[in-house]
Chain A
Amino acid sequence: MEKQLALQMRGITKRFGSVLANDHVDLDVYRGEILAVLGENGCGKTTLMNMIAGIYFPDEGQILIDGKEVVIRSPKDAFIHKIGMIHQHFKLVDLFTAAENVVLGTESGEKYSLKAVNAQVAQIAEKYGFRLDPTKKIYDMSVSEKQTVEIIKVLYRGADILILDEPTAVLTPQEITRLFDVLRRMKEDGKSIIIITHKLNEVMEVSDRVAILRRGQHVATVNTSETDETQLTTMMVGRRISLNIERTKPVNPKPRLIVEGLNLYNTEGVHVLKDISFTANGGEILGIAGIAGSGQRELLESISGLQPVESGKITFYNPKKDRPVSFFHKSIKQVRALAEQGAFHDRNLNDVTFHGMSNKAVRKWVENGDVLFREDEIMNLRDKDPLEIRQLGVHLSFVPEDRLGMGLVGNMDITDNMMLRNYRKGKAGFLNRKKPRAQAEEIIRDLEVATPGVTTPVRRLSGGNVQKVLVGREIAYTPKVLMAAYPVRGLDINSSYTIYNLLNRQKESGVAVIYVGEDLDVLLELCDRIMVMNGGKVTGIMDARTATKEEIGLLMTKTEERKEEDA
């Protein structure tokens, strides 16, 4: 079958100030195909799409639809040309129903009946295999349902070209499968679908062709069937990079942080954490999976002392400075007895028992100074604010989800952001910027932060570099527990792998790492154990080496579906 051109872009250029977001991009989209647009962050994917959707106006270049040049100056113009875009952030009225949102803003001039619209919406949903109740209000909807409303909204307006900006970022594996089925059905119906993503496996799964952008330029468009993930990444990044996470076996994991029966109500009185219990071990990465808003943020914030909890225990085991055992005050018999009680450990924190060893061997070992008293401090972290936790000497690092609103101060430079954790050091009332500046320079050098200098405000840095600064600071603080919430969200492949490697290095040095993530493939590859949260509860803790994506996906949504069945 001869493929028919739907949309052509010729020499599209867009500048923002001195930044060239799109540089003479040529792109073709055919009828009845799914085109994936792939590229690192800031490569201009979204900008390009926004120009088709009428949100930006190109500085140069032409857009042709069905071979005719068109001018798209507003989203309305885009609709006239049957182009619809589904944005990353939904633009829906919470208090309206699905159908009401769908008709909102359409001007047919006729009196419209909500009944007819409901029927039409239901019809569209059925045609493409969506699951949606047109009379359901938006505030009652899950993220996936909201996305469905957005898609139906553009279909209702008769869009033939649909643009989806990172539609899978917020979905569970099952929902992604369902979405892809719908997209395939739309394709069969002759629609053109452009999907922006940076997940390679999804590109391979759903698309017919892939267009790769790099630094605002169109690198190539290839047929999906003729390429593979390695080739795509190479084109995307501009050089070969390895996409493997080197996961080592945990060395002697020991409990570092124990949470028992934690309950938390938020300021609105909603029960957001329900009886959470888990243990994070030193030398291990504990992943936390779950749909966004299942209580992950609240959990990390209550551990770090930012939210007062209702009930439960948060206990921290602090391996203290080692003190060698000596025979000065004790006989060999006493030493053997203490060893039986688990009072000693060796340099690797392994329990020391002297089973089957001769007194001579025991004596030699002890005198070598390799047997150490176990003097772990057990500290209660509950009801302590971040400052009190610090003053206890607990090295708890936290990379929050909200980087510039919480972890860093956007208008301050890197040096001043380094100081956030330890500016109080020293008795004098004056700040000492010497050490923080050295630290800032170290992080810039070691983590290859792209910045004009230490005095650049961090908000001027790109997302990946902001995150490097934040993670770098939290690691510089030699944590015993490192909690990271969505540390690679919005980061390009290269920076993501830098972060994974940093976390792995922390794990290898004995830190208990807690990683809250959304990409299940990464969770399975990076973590040692995965805890799944769902509606404020822990629905399972599994071994990441044996678990499957589907199992985790089920645990993420289990109770929700049961509720639906009940109702």
Chain B
Amino acid sequence: MSKEKKSEVREPLIHLSKRTTISPLKAWTIRLIAIVLGLLVCGLAAFLLIEKLQQNPERIGEFYQTFIRGSFSTSRKLWKYLKNTSVLLVISLGLTVAFRMRFWNIGGEGQTLVSVLGAIAVDFYLGGRIPEWILLILMFFAALLSGALWGIIPAVFRAKWGTNETLFTLMMNYVATYLVSYFLVIWVPSGSSSLGKLKYGKLPTLYNEQLLIVLTALFLTIALYIYLNYTKHGYEINVVGESVRTAQYVGISERKVIIRTMILSGAICGLAGYLIAAGSDQTVTTNSVGGQGFTGILVAWLGKFNPLAMILTAGLIQVLNQGAGQISQDFGVDNALPNVIVGIVLFFIIGSEFFINYEIHFRGHHSRANARKEAAK
């Protein structure tokens, strides 16, 4: 009798429940599946959007090869990949320091750009007049100071008047961009507003010209991992981030920690600016950072604010970027397509977190589970 009754009660079709724990293996399997699915959907999107592919569907394999080729086909591309990843990593490390404190610094772009400007300003005025090594040191400090300045301004406003740091840091990005435009007009009176590559202020080459940048990024990653997890400062950052009330309760000054940490955050972005200025570009344009300040936010989030994990996420995102760039080159399509591709993959990666946090049951899950149990008996 009870069985007949049971059939009347309809379970909801989809039933979500929060997972309490998940094994790292399972979590990474879910993420991997997400990336694979994302790439498959990318292929589909590419097929719909790229005429060349529609004409020769057999080239779809080539499409995926191109992805890899973008970063790894030649040693020059590999080094470019490593350098770009390193700069991206340094920026995201700078952001992570603030994010750990739940200070939503989305001004990495501006902090980096302004420090490129600072370094290049030193280079522009002093290059050739003083020994190269002194110039490089001065550029280094100029970059770090400008970055730190860009970090400390929103921090002070937040600490003293409780302003919203997200809007503030975002606005500071625009200020940085226009500041660069302003100086370009002064430095390049001809009106072309392109400074051109400067002769001086180039980081020395160790084995490969990018190696120093890569080593700097690796060193910084490890240093920050230690700073955040094993020092008193790092501990204070965590406490302030988790709960301001707890910080007060144990006598940690929220203001002090916010200001100190944002100086560090800005200065690390400043280091990234220095690597861009002295490591590769030796010039400044409004696009010197090229949105990496925003990509860095993604890298930090995907890496769960763990510097070591961020090596992986920065690497992955850079593969996508460069691969997509290669595709637009090889298949002769518009520059917007790479963004679509990267967007699709990221959508899948971020979406996979939902399946890591929640479990989904469909109707009949429990009755099936019960049936299994009974059968086992």
Chain B residues whose C-beta falls within 8 Å of the C-beta of A411 in the assembled complex:
242
Q: Say whether B139 faces chain A, with CB atoms less than 8 Å apart.
A: no
Which B residues between 187 and 239 are near A, CB-CB below 8 angstroms?
230-235, 238-239
Once A408-B246, A410-B242 are accepted as A-B contacts, the answer to whether A386 and B251 lie under 8 Å apart by CB is: yes
Chain B residues closer than 8 Å to A431, beta-carbon distance: 230-232, 234-235
Name the B residues within 8 Å of A16 (CB-CB).
17-18
Please, which residues of chain B bring their CB within 8 A of the CB of A412? 238-239, 242
What is the CA–CA distance of A325 and B248 in the complex, to the nearest angstrom?
42
Contacts of A304 in B (CB 8 A): 249
- Partner of B231 from the list A389, A406, A429 (CB cut-off 8 Å) is A429
Residue B334 lies at the interface, judged by CB distance under 8 Å to chain A: no
Set of chain A residues within 8 Å of B20, measured between Cβ atoms: 17-19, 460
Check if B359 is an interface residue, CB within 8 A of chain A: yes
| Distance A388 CA – B253 CA, assembled complex (angstroms) | 12
The contact size tier of chain A is 35 or more
- Check A398–B249 contact: CB distance below 8 A: yes
For B227, give the chain A residue with the smallest CB separation: A429
The A/B interface has a contact count, at CB < 8 Å, of 89
Binds A, one of B1-9, B52-60, B319-327: B1-9
| Chain B contacts for A278, CB-based, 8 A | none
| Shortest Cβ gap from A525 to chain B (Å) | 29
- Interface-centre pick from A17, A19, A390 (highest chain B CB count, 10 A): A17
Q: Could you tell me the distance in whole angstroms from the C-beta of A102 to the nearest C-beta in chain B?
A: 30
Whole-angstrom distance from the CB of B361 to the nearest CB of chain A? 9
A522 on the interface (CB 8 Å rule)? no
Task: Indicate if the CB atoms of A15 and B12 lie closer than 8 Å.
Answer: no
Complex-state Cα separation, A349 to B243, whole angstroms: 41
A178 touches B (CB below 8 Å): no
Contacts of A402 in B (CB 8 A): 245
CA distance A406 to B250 in the complex (A): 9
Q: Which of A17, A62, A400, A408 contacts B6 (CB 8 A)?
A: A62
A420 touches B18 (CB 8 A): no
Contact: B250 with A420, CB < 8 Å?
Answer: yes
For B19, give the chain A residue with the smallest CB separation: A17
List A residues 321-359 near B (Cβ within 8 Å). none
A407 touches B251 (CB 8 A): no
Chain A residues, CB < 8 A from B250: 386-387, 420-421
CB–CB B230/A69 < 8 A: no
A419 engages B235 (CB within 8 Å): yes
Do A69 and B5 touch across chains, with their CB atoms under 8 A apart?
A: yes
B243 CB to closest chain A CB (Å) equals: 6
Q: In the complex, are the beta carbons of B246 and A407 less than 8 A apart?
A: yes
Asked whether, in the complex, the Cβ of B246 is within 8 Å of the Cβ of A405, the reply is yes
Interface residues of A in 429-484 (CB under 8 A from B): 429-431, 460
Q: Is B372 an interface residue (CB 8 A)?
A: no
**Which has the most chain A C-beta neighbours within 10 Å: B12, B238, B250?**
B250
A145 at the interface (CB under 8 A from B): no
How far, in angstroms, from A387 to B236 measured CA to CA in the complex? 14
- CA distance in complex: A248, B254 (Å): 43
Kindly list chain B residues whose C-beta atoms are within 8 Å of the C-beta of A492: none
Residue among B10, B231, B249 with max Cβ neighbours from chain A (10 Å): B249
Q: Are B5 and A62 in contact (CB under 8 A)?
A: yes
Given contact pairs A15-B17, A406-B249, A412-B238, A59 touches B366 in the complex (Cβ within 8 A): yes
Chain A nearest CB from B206 CB (Å) reads: 30
Q: Which of A37-85 contact B (CB under 8 A)?
A: 57, 59-60, 62, 69, 71, 73
Binary interface profile of A, 377-400, with partner B (CB < 8 Å = 1, else 0)?
A: 000000001111110000000101
A416 on the B face (CB < 8 A): yes
Whether, in the assembled complex, B29 has its beta carbon less than 8 Å from a beta carbon of chain A, the answer is no
B65 interface residue (CB < 8 Å to A): no
Compute how far the CA of A405 lies from the CA of B239 in the bound complex, rounded to whole angstroms. 11
Are A409 and B242 in touch, CB under 8 angstroms? yes
Is B10 in contact with A306, judged by CB distance below 8 angstroms?
A: no
For residue B62, CB closer than 8 A to chain A, the reply is: no
Find chain B residues with CB under 8 A from A558 CB.
none
Instruction: Tell me the smallest distance from the CB of A416 to a CB of chain B, in Å.
Output: 7
Contact with B along A150-193 (1 / 0, CB 8 A): 00000000000000000000000000000000000000000000
Whether the Cβ atoms of A62 and B249 lie closer than 8 Å is: no
User: Within the complex, which residue of A15, A389, A409, A424 is in contact with B243, where a contact is CB–CB below 8 Å?
Assistant: A409
Whether a CB of chain A sits under 8 angstroms from the CB of B11 is yes
Contacting residues, chain B, for A420 (C-beta < 8 A) = 239, 246, 250
- CA A63 to CA B34, docked complex, whole Å: 41
Which residues of chain B have C-beta atoms less than 8 A from A423's C-beta? 232, 235
- Set A60, A69, A408: member contacting B370, Cβ < 8 A: A60
- Bound Cα distance A122, B10 (Å): 40
The answer to whether A385 and B251 touch across the interface, beta carbons within 8 angstroms, is yes
For B243, list chain A residues within 8 Å (CB): 405-406, 409-410
Q: In the complex, A306→B244 CA distance in Å?
A: 12
Question: Are B246 and A409 in contact, with the CB atoms below 8 A?
Answer: yes
Query: Out of B6, B12, B233, B245, which one reaches A57, CB within 8 Å?
Result: B12
Asked if B249 and A400 sit within 8 Å, CB to CB, the answer is: yes
* Nearest neighbor of B359 in chain A, beta-carbon distance: A17
Contact of B239 among A15, A73, A306, A409 (CB under 8 A): A409
- Beyond A305-B251, A430-B230, 12 additional contacts (C-beta under 8 Å) are A16-B18, A69-B9, A386-B248, A387-B251, A389-B251, A407-B246, A408-B246, A409-B246, A411-B242, A416-B235, A420-B246, A431-B232
Q: Which 3 A-B pairs have the closest CB atoms?
A: A387-B251, A386-B251, A406-B245
B-side residues, CB < 8 A to A, are: 2, 5-6, 8-12, 15, 17-20, 230-235, 238-239, 242-243, 245-246, 248-253, 359, 366, 370
Interface residues of A (CB under 8 A from B): 15-19, 57, 59-60, 62, 69, 71, 73, 304-306, 385-390, 398, 400, 402, 405-412, 416, 419-421, 423-424, 429-431, 460
Offer 5 A-B interface pairs, CB within 8 angstroms, sorted by A. Answer: A17-B19, A69-B5, A387-B253, A398-B249, A408-B246
